[in-house]
Every structure is written in C-alpha cells, then in structure tokens.
Structure 1
Amino acid sequence: MRKTLLLTMDFPPEIGGVANYWGNLLLNLPEDKVVVLAPENDNSLDFDVKQKYVVYRRRLLTTSSRVWPRWWPYLWQVYRLCRVESPEQIIVGQVLPGGTIAWLMKKILNIPYILSFHGLDISMAQMTKRRKKWFRFLVNSASKIIVNSDFTKQKLILVMGTVKAPIEIVYPCASILPLNEYSDLILNDFVDRYSVKNKKIILSVGRLVERKGFDQMIRVVSNIRRKMPFIHYFIVGRGPDKNRLESIVVHHNAEKYVTILSDVSDDELPYFYKLADLFVMLPRELADGDVEGFGIVFLEANLFHLPVLAGNSGGVPEAVENNVSGVLVDSSDIMQIQQAAESLLKNDENRRLMGDLGFERAQRLYNWPAQAKRLEAFLG
C-alpha cells in the first residue's frame, strides 16, 4: 500500500459516524503507511499515544475575521506535512474545504487525492451554484473515490452525471459490541431503576436529530400501548432535537413508558441492547437533503441478536435486509410502522429468528478487517 495522508475534521476521540469510520479502518491498515492530520481535541493526546500510526493535531481553522479563507491554517499545515512525510496520496474526509486543499497539493506537489463521501456531504455541496460548480471540479480532479454505501455512490453519480474516477464502497461497521460477560447486578439495577420487569423493551440509539425519526416511534408506541401495556420505549442519544422529542412525550402523556437518556456511556450501552426485545430507528430524508447514508446502529443491534424495525430511506436497505435481519417500513406511514411493530412484538419466535439471521449477516458482511482489506487493495 502506498503511503497515505488522511485529512479529516472528524477523528477519534471525537464521537460521530465519520470519526468512528476512519478510527476503525486505520486500526486495520499497515501502520507505517498511514499518517493522519486532524483538529486538536481536549482528549486527543490520550487517544493518539495508543495508536501505532502517526497522528498530527493542529488548529486547522482560524477564528480571526482578518484571515480569509478560514482554512488558510489548514492549507499551510497540509503543505508542511506533505514536505515532512512525503505521502504518495491524500485521502480527503470532507470535500469542503479538504478537497480544495488536496487539489492545491496536487498542483503544487503532484500528489493525487482521493475523496471520501458519506451522503450528507454531497447534498451540502449542492446548496449554492458556486459550491456546486467547485464540487464538480474537485470530483472530476480526484484520482479515486470512496463511499460508505451504494446509495451514496448512486447519489454522487446522479449529481455528477458521470464520474471518471473509480469508486469503491467501504462500508462502516459496528463499534458497540456484545460483552463476553454481563453483570447480573447491573442488569437487575437497570430493570429496577426503570421498572421494566416482565416488559417488552423497544430500543432506539442514535443522535437526536429530526432525520432519525424518533418522533414517529413515540407516537406509534403511544398507540400500541393501548393494546399492549407491557412495553417500554428507550431512546438513547444526545442531540439538538431532545427538547422537541421530550415535548412530544409529554403531549402523549407517555412519560411512564417512554424514556429519553442522554448520559449513557459506551460501557453501559451493551446492557440496553442485551435487555431489549426490538430495535427501532425510522430515518427519513429531509427537505435539505439530510439523509441516512447507511445505518451502523442496525448492524450493532443485529450483533446483539436483535431484530430491527427500520425506515426505508437512504442507504438503510443495505444495512437491513427486509424480512431477514429486520423489517423495512415507510417512515412517514404511522399505520404501517404500528402494524409492523405490533407483529414483531407479538411473535417471539419470529423476533428470535430475525435476530439470529441478522447476527450471522452482520458478522459475515460487515466487519472492520474485511472492509479495511477492501480499502487497502483499492488504495494500492
């Protein structure tokens, strides 16, 4: 594999899909062939010293109104790093502004660059004529392109018309995994704290944003509970939509059976998966183009032998095989969601079978070493 410099604004220990994506892929690539440039972070040193590859942390964007463009420090740091590390190619985690900087390195130092896309970044680049034109130029100047799903690939082709560079799909994989052993004390405390003994538990995990569709499931659970009073719905995550979701819970008088938790650690999260009976997330595409590019949480749920109820949107059908690892529904159709949820909750054997099939599929197709091997071969 040729020596590669990764430019990314999102990298561990920062939390998020893109940070998780690159953090796990790089763990499985040759450490002497990878160099990373990422922003400074309060806890970055603790993370960086544990890695076998080299991570450079710099302040990449300026806050000074007297400096334009704001990414001028980013450009300077990339140029200096290229002179020191002599990479043979550059991977760009965010097309703007990273793609512009990588293009300049191509012109100045003759280093080819590779663009990486996750879905929303394509939509954001279409918001103005100027951005759209520059986006097309950067894509046409790239030597290769990495995408996180076939949905993202098709979205890029739709926007571009034709793409000259070869495109490789490198799927994201699960980061929250089942524990080898579970503490009975913690499990019992969980059951007692939330009064969920002998109840069917529905679980959602994700960033609290409108796109995820948690509001729809709150409404569905409120309806279902009239027929099935033994259910409890947990939403685990942080995000700007929390207040709106809490107001919907109050509106439906659902405080006793819908719980939103924003302080759950990665160490605690496996216990929620362990006790759950059904995993639900209902992504939908918003008017601004915000869409689920794939859906790692569905794979995580499957690894805990959980069946999933998923919104048929964006790249979700690649993460969830309909009627195999879960059930796909129209996220805008309350009745369809409710019927699917009721059917799954009533049929223990069907849930068990889907959970087992989902587990086998997730292990076989979506694991970091296999995806990193695809990436390594593509990078050359």
Structure 2
Amino acid sequence: MILPMKLLLLTMEFPPQFGGVAEYYGRLVEHWPNREEAIVVLQPADALAKKRFFKWPFIHRALNRAIREKNIDLILVGQILPLGMSAYLYFLLNRLPYAVFLHGLDFSLARRNVWKRFLSKLILRSAAAIICTNNFTAQAVKDAGLGSESKVFVVHPAALLNWEASPGFSAADLPFSRPEKKVLLSIGRLVPRKGFDRVLSALPLVFKQAPDLLYILIGAGPDQFRLEKIRSRLPADCQEKIYFRGAVSTAEKNYWLKNSDIFIMPSREEKVLGIKDFEGFGIVYLEANLAGLPVIGVQSGGVGEAIKSGESGLLLPDDRPKTIARAILDLYHSPEKRALFGRQGRERARNDFNWPGQAVKLKLILEKIFAAHQTIGCK
C-alpha cells in the first residue's frame, strides 16, 4: 500500500502569473486527484528577484525550510535552472528524491553553454524522473543520454475553455462591420516562430478563391511591427480582409473561437540567440478543437502531438505559402470536412487532453518513484 505523498512544487511560474507554464502547473495542482496529498507550492520569488548572482544559497534556504515545515517526501522542480540545482544539492545531502519538468525551450537553454550543460547533466542524471510536456522534448533528453525510457515520461498540457468567463460579447462590440463571412482565425504570441508571416504571405492566393473569407489574428508581441509591414505590402483588397486584434479579453477570444471556421498556426523552428526555439506542444490547437474548429499546423516540434492529421485537422510538411494556401482552401471548399475534423477534434481534446486525466497520469508516475524510494529506505 502506498501512503499519501507529501509533494512540493518548486517553481518560478504559477498562477496568478500568465503563460502556458504557469497554467500547466496551476491546473495540475487544481485537479490533483487526492486532496489528502495537496501539493505545497514554493515560489522563491524574493531570492530570484533580489539576487542576480549566486541565487542557489537563497533558494536552497527557502527549500530547506519548506521541506522541514511540511515534512515533504518528493520535490517537483518546475525549472531545471536555476531551481534544479537546489533540489540536486538537497538530494546529495538528504537523499530526498526529486522529479524535473521540461517543456522544450527550457531544455534548449539548459544546453546553451558548457557550464549549463554540466549543471543540467548533474541535475537530470540524479533526478528520479524527468517529466516532459511533449514527446519531442522527451526524445531530445534521451538522445542526449540524460534519461532512459524508464525515467523519462510525458504528461501533456490539457485544454480548457471557460465559456462562462466573460459572457455578453457579440459582433456589435467589434469596431468593424462583420457581414456574413467565413473566418480564418489565428491566436498566439506575435513572435516569428508562430508562422503568422507565412499565413499573411499565403492570403493573396487564398482570397482569389475565397472572396468571402476574413483573417483574424489575435495576440501581441515583438513581431507585430514586422507583421503589419507585411500586411501593408499586400494588395489593398487583401488588406481590408485582415484584422489584427491585438491582446483581447477572454470574452472576445471566446467569441472568435465560437464564430470562426478554420484555425491556423503554422509554427516552425527558429534560432534565437543561437538557441533552437520551437512549439513544444501548442495548447491553442486543442482549444480551437474544443470550440469545434478544424486546425492547421506544420510538422515542427511537438505540434504533431497536438494535431492528429486527417482527424482533428491538417498537419503540413512545410510552411511554404503555397502549401498553406492549399490547406486553407481544402478546408474552405469542404464544409463536410470542416465539420468532421471539428467534431473529431473536440472529442479527442475532451477524452485525451483533459486536466483531471493528466493529473492522474502524473500521480501514477510519482507513486512509482515514491514506492521505489520507500523500498530503498526500508533496506
């Protein structure tokens, strides 16, 4: 019999902070299946904010105090660096097991130079488990020789749409008239790897065969100026069908998810300051599926795990404008396919990517670690 575990999540990101990583941890804690095992969350914010260098001693002090006060059995590390080093040092001194979460870019950053590669190697090889949010990152860890099949696990993010969050938004609230037209929708942070520039480049080809289509882009970010410049170079009749909505309320986001016809985000791998940046998973594809939309993406990073090509949408082999245009027009001209992909995608998102299910999956992984540690401790 496995006794209730006392878990501590050591993380720099957690609600009410925004972002996919913060939501991932927040939802897992919220949906943890055993209330007797409520997860203690430790955010050493003061140490991280005030100390630019030599943060480990201050983080370690906060960790040590929390473990003693809460009688913790297992540490969950939210960020491999710098937090993983504190869990590693505590393990060396006290043999308390820990598991490390990896999302994608964090692993790339941890391999950025010789010193970080050395530290990440120490941390991951001593970890009881490595929990990745996608198979792409899990395979990268195994290829680097930092974790075996029995040690590396995948617990995907899940999708959740709160339709009741901000009711009342309607077309009357839009600053432009929206006649009865079909809508191509994109939602995401405006950075190059999201591929919105490729969508804009494909639209002149699309609009020739889909004159009643609008393109709505929701999101903000450093790439906005470049994207607006690309739009300004398109023919005038194309520009008037493209709307940049910026950062919007939950109510408006939900409005477009409910009232669009196709979702697209052709993410790609990009090198930023010499670091490979990629879409670790793409929870927004599942959100669009939950809203009943067929989705379009490109085979890159973990996108192939979020989109099941031919079932929930289309997974493209490349992000050339012609390839993207063909995919959009394929769905535009086939309402039956749109409806089928939307229906199948919704069922897949509900059944395979829900937070209670992912929390149970993580709990089973951690129970194995805890049981093994108890067995070793009894010898």
- TM-score normalised by L of structure 1: 0.88
Task: Name the SS of the counterpart of 1:226 in structure 2.
Answer: helix
Deviation string for 1:133-167 (max 9, x for gaps)? 22112110001111112222111111226537622
1:321–1:164 CA distance, 2 compared to 1 (3 A): closer
Instruction: Tell me whether 1:266 sits opposite 2:230 in the alignment.
Output: no
Instruction: Tell me whether 1:102 sits opposite 2:91 in the alignment.
Output: no
2:246 and 2:16 map into 1 onto residues whose CA distance is 18
The match for 1:166 is 151
1:245–1:136 CA distance, 2 compared to 1 (3 A): same
Instruction: Tell me whether 1:250 sits opposite 2:235 in the alignment.
Output: no
Are the counterparts in 1 of residues 313 and 345 from structure 2 also a CA contact under 8 Å? yes
**Bigger shift: 163-172 or 231-240?**
163-172
2:170 and 2:9 map into 1 onto residues whose CA distance is 41
The match for 1:150 is 135
The one-letter amino acid of 2:226's match is: R
The match for 2:187 is 205
Task: Please show how residues 325-336 of structure 1 align to structure 2 within 5 Å.
Answer: 325-336=312-323
- TM-score normalised by L of structure 2: 0.89
1:31–1:331 CA distance, 2 compared to 1 (3 A): farther
The match for 1:7 is 10
Are the counterparts in 1 of residues 166 and 251 from structure 2 also a CA contact under 8 Å? no
Deviation of the 1:333 alpha carbon: 1.8
1:3–1:180 CA distance, 2 compared to 1 (3 A): closer
Deviation of the 1:307 alpha carbon: 0.2
Task: Name the SS of the counterpart of 2:341 in structure 1.
Answer: helix
The match for 2:200 is 218
1:321 and 1:124 map into 2 onto residues whose CA distance is 29
The match for 1:368 is 355
Structure 2 spans left out of the alignment, 5+ residues: 368-379
1:113 and 1:337 map into 2 onto residues whose CA distance is 43
The match for 2:172 is 189
The match for 1:236 is 218
2:147 and 2:46 map into 1 onto residues whose CA distance is 36
The one-letter amino acid of 2:242's match is: V
1:72–1:265 CA distance, 2 compared to 1 (3 A): farther
2:99 and 2:194 map into 1 onto residues whose CA distance is 29
Task: Please show how residues 1-380 of structure 1 align to structure 2 within 5 Å.
Answer: 1-29=4-32, 30-33=34-37, 34-38=39-43, 58-63=45-50, 68-160=53-145, 162-163=147-148, 166-178=151-163, 183=168, 186-190=169-173, 193-252=175-234, 253=236, 254-287=238-271, 288-380=275-367
Deviation of the 1:245 alpha carbon: 1.5
Are the counterparts in 1 of residues 165 and 251 from structure 2 also a CA contact under 8 Å? no
Task: Name the SS of the counterpart of 2:43 in structure 1.
Answer: strand
**Bigger shift: 368-377 or 323-332?**
323-332
Are the counterparts in 2 of residues 89 and 113 from structure 1 also a CA contact under 8 Å? yes
The match for 1:42 is none
The match for 1:50 is none
1:275 and 1:62 map into 2 onto residues whose CA distance is 42
The one-letter amino acid of 2:20's match is: G
Task: Name the SS of the counterpart of 2:91 in structure 1.
Answer: helix
Structure 1 spans left out of the alignment, 5+ residues: 40-57
